[in-house]
């Protein structure tokens, strides 16, 4: 018996471990949103970094990119909308109300939750700052949706148009990709300096959609009594530093850490540290670089007495040039540093301080 027509092969199962049908109610959720964080009259750079990333996601989905600006009149909120347009946003949702004058969880959560429920974005991104984490954790709980913290990569799964958010796991030794399937919006936070800064385009503009805040000051339980601004000079600004000199447990004693500070002083650098050093109290926690500390991407990172454990590595491997000083030639840091010096940091650091000081003096003479 011959069969002239080959039977139609069964429809190939789409490669589809993640084959699923989105709940019809959730199909109405469209668009990518970025929460625009601002303080003291300027937008936080992480919001621009997120707009750069959000632009790619929106283009891939064929939807619009929106910024969300919350604040009080007189806080330059219009300028922040314009800033968002220049960094890729198509439109901005603006809530202006005196209750939103300074960040407080309750009014900000309410404002953002109401906006999401009304305009239904499919993706909502926030910076993983103290403000962003406080707000994202609350809003995701109220909306009963998924939130992925501290992402290092964002992409769209072409198969089901869902957000594939990649983040470090096991203290940074592995990466995992997380999806939020039958819940919307899909929320994620990203740390400052993890994504690159998009170029500003001043010719771009967009539309502003204003919404009212359905909350009165008398409804807000928590009151702001005072804001003590950090002393700008004393502030540790690790994420945006051009040069960082960091020390680890290999510095052996707390007083040896002065050698790290001396080199930083000459270079005009910030001082960084590993978690064990911070936990031993040698330096304060705002100096901590790594998985539980700050992510940095300076032009030059000098690591003294740091072995290069994954928890530290994930916070600093975006540095342009890494110089590692370690007594142990097999320390993992030599696997990814640019330059390595196998030796005693207590001797090498002063030598580097002297060499850089001399270099700077000669440069000055040459000018």
Encode 222-236: b = buried (16+ Cβ within 10 Å), e = exposed: eeeeeeeeeeeeeeb
Q: Which of 60, 73, 98, 175 is the binder for another protein (CB under 8 A)?
A: 175
Q: Are 244 and 238 in contact (CB under 8 A)?
A: yes
Q: Is 216 in the site for another protein (CB under 8 A)?
A: no
# binding residues, another protein (CB under 8 A): 105
Which residues, 273 to 312, sit near another protein by CB under 8 A? 275-276, 278-279, 281, 284-285, 291-292, 299-300, 309-311
Residue 342 host element (H or E): strand 339-342
- Give the CA diameter of the chain: 97
Q: Is 257 in the site for another protein (CB under 8 A)?
A: no
To another protein, the closest distance from the beta carbon of 326 in angstroms equals: 10
d(CA 286, CA 261): 15
Interaction mask 23-62, another protein, x per CB under 8 A: --------------x-xx---x------------------
Q: Which of 210, 217, 242, 328 is the binder for another protein (CB under 8 A)?
A: 242
The SS3 assignment for 26 reads helix
Q: Which of 197, 199, 216, 321 is the binder for another protein (CB under 8 A)?
A: 321
To another protein, the closest distance from the beta carbon of 256 in angstroms equals: 15
239 to each of 85, 181, 267, 289, 293, how far by Cα in Å? 24, 33, 17, 9, 10
The SS3 assignment for 247 reads strand
To another protein, the closest distance from the beta carbon of 36 in angstroms equals: 13
- 77 or 307, CB closer to another protein? 307
Which residues, 62 to 101, sit near another protein by CB under 8 A? none
Q: Which has the closest alpha carbon to 116: 127, 125, 103? A: 125
Backbone angles phi, psi at 27, to 5 degrees: -70, -20
39 to each of 198, 285, 325, how far by Cα in Å? 20, 22, 38
Which residues, 99 to 118, sit near another protein by CB under 8 A? 102-106, 109
d(CA 149, CA 136): 9
- 169 or 201, CB closer to another protein? 169
Which residues, 138 to 167, sit near another protein by CB under 8 A? 138, 140-142, 144-150, 164
* Interface stretch with another protein, choices 5-13, 24-32, 57-65, 319-327 (CB under 8 A): 319-327
Ramachandran quadrant class, 115 (left: phi over 0; alpha: psi -120 to 50; beta: rest): alpha
- 120 or 292, CB closer to another protein? 292
Q: Strand pairing partners for 9?
A: none
To another protein, the closest distance from the beta carbon of 339 in angstroms equals: 5
């Amino acid at each position: 018996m011959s069969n002239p027509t080959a039977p139609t092969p069964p429809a190939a199962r789409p490669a589809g471990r993640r084959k699923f049908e989105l709940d019809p109610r959730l199909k109405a959720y469209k668009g990518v949103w970025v929460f625009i964080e601002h303080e003291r009259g300027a937008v936080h750079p992480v919001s621009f970094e997120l707009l750069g990333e959000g632009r790619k996601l929106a283009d891939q989905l064929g939807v619009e990119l929106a910024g969300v600006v919350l604040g009080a009149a007189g806080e330059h909120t219009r300028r922040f909308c314009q800033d968002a347009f220049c960094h890729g946003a198509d439109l901005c949702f603006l809530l202006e109300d005196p209750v939103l004058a300074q960040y407080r969880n309750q009014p900000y959560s309410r404002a953002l939750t109401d906006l999401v429920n009304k305009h239904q974005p499919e993706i909502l991104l926030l910076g993983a700052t103290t403000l962003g984490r406080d707000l994202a954790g609350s809003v995701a709980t109220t909306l009963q949706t998924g939130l992925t913290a501290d992402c290092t990569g964002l992409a769209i799964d072409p198969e089901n148009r869902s957000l594939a958010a990649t983040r470090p796991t096991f203290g940074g030794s592995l990466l995992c990709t997380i999806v939020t399937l039958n819940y919307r919006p899909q929320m994620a936070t990203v740390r400052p300096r993890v994504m690159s800064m998009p170029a500003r385009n001043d010719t771009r503009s967009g539309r502003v959609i204003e919404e009212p805040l359905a909350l009165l000051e008398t409804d807000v339980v928590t009151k702001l009594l005072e804001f003590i601004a950090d002393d700008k000079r004393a502030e540790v600004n690790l994420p945006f530093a051009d040069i960082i000199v960091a020390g680890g447990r290999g510095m052996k004693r707390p007083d040896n850490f002065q050698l790290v500070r001396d080199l930083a002083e000459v270079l005009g650098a910030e001082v960084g540290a590993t978690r064990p050093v911070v936990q031993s109290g040698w330096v304060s926690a705002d100096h901590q670089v790594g998985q539980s500390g700050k992510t940095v991407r300076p032009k030059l990172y000098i690591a003294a007495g740091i072995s290069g454990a994954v928890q530290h590595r994930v916070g600093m491997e975006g540095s342009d040039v890494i110089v590692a000083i370690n007594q142990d030639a097999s320390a993992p840091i030599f696997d990814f540093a640019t330059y390595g010096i196998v030796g005693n940091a207590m001797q090498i650091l002063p030598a580097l301080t002297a060499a850089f000081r001399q270099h700077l003096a000669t440069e000055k003479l040459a000018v």
